[in-house]
Homo-oligomer: A and B are copies of this chain.
Amino acid sequence: MRTRRPADRASEIARAALDLFVTRGFAATKLEDVAKAAAVSKGLPYVYFKNKEELFKAVITEAIGGPLADASDMVDHFDGSSEDLLRGLVAGFRAFEESPAGGVVKLILAEAGNFPDVARFFCAQFDRRGRDLFIRALQRGVHRREFRTIEDIEATAIIIAQPLAMFSVWKRSLAPYDPTTLLDGDRFYTAYLDFLFKGLRP
């Protein structure tokens, strides 16, 4: 048996690509560097991915494929308080965001204009479904009188989700260059949940 199988190679290349795409941007990343980072030769990525664009799509879809189903299950079957449900959703997002796949958020936002079909796919699979989770959690809380009544639930769900996405982007872009704030994950999520519940309680 060989030490490395093709499946490993494909995902090694995809991981290296995600990493470089996130830090440098899609256009500024050379496939040769991807190959180097994955410790393979320049030609090998083309064996597993038809071209650079296909690699991009594969990276995105692979990264967001898994974690959403778990979250959806959680909302469906949760039986604690709605505050705890929101806490659970946020914890789920944090786990995703702090994994290597977390970088896709920044990547997608930066490259949506150049890859309309990837953007549409991401909207349908992640943006929309993710937002629905928050909408359902809010509705549940309002219905059970744990939260105050909310004028515009859909817009509020988006507003609630935005700091999460923004923090993910910020961590990977400006944060390394900002010497003044040392806002780490713990501090951010604590303040976020605090503010969130202050705004939602009756």
A residues with a Cβ closer than 8 A to B are: 23-28, 106, 108-114, 116, 119-120, 122-123, 127-128, 131, 148, 151-152, 154-156, 158-160, 162-163, 165-167, 169-170, 172-174, 176-181, 183, 187-188, 190-192, 194-196, 198-200
Contact = CB atoms under 8 A, between A and B. Distances in A.
Given A155-B191, A181-B154, A191-B156, A108 B174 contact: yes
Given A25-B26, A28-B27, A158 B177 contact: no
A159 B112 contact: no
Contacts of A151: 191, 194
B24 A25 contact: no
Choose among A162, A163, A181 the residue with the greatest number of B CB atoms under 10 Å from its CB.
A162
25 contacts: A25-B110, A25-B113, A25-B114, A26-B27, A26-B28, A27-B28, A28-B114, A109-B110, A112-B177, A119-B174, A120-B178, A123-B174, A123-B180, A127-B174, A131-B181, A151-B194, A152-B187, A154-B183, A158-B183, A159-B192, A162-B166, A162-B167, A163-B163, A166-B166, A195-B199
B195 A109 contact: no
Contact of A110 (B106, B190, B195): B106
Nearest to A29: B27
Instruction: Determine how many copies of this chain the complex contains.
Output: 2
A194 to B, nearest CB: 6
Nearest to A188: B155
Choose among A108, A114, A170, A177 the residue with the greatest number of B CB atoms under 10 Å from its CB.
A177
A165 B106 CA distance: 13
A174 B112 contact: yes
Choose among A23, A148, A181, A190 the residue with the greatest number of B CB atoms under 10 Å from its CB.
A181
B162 A113 contact: no
Contacts of A152: 187, 190-191, 194
B191 A159 contact: yes
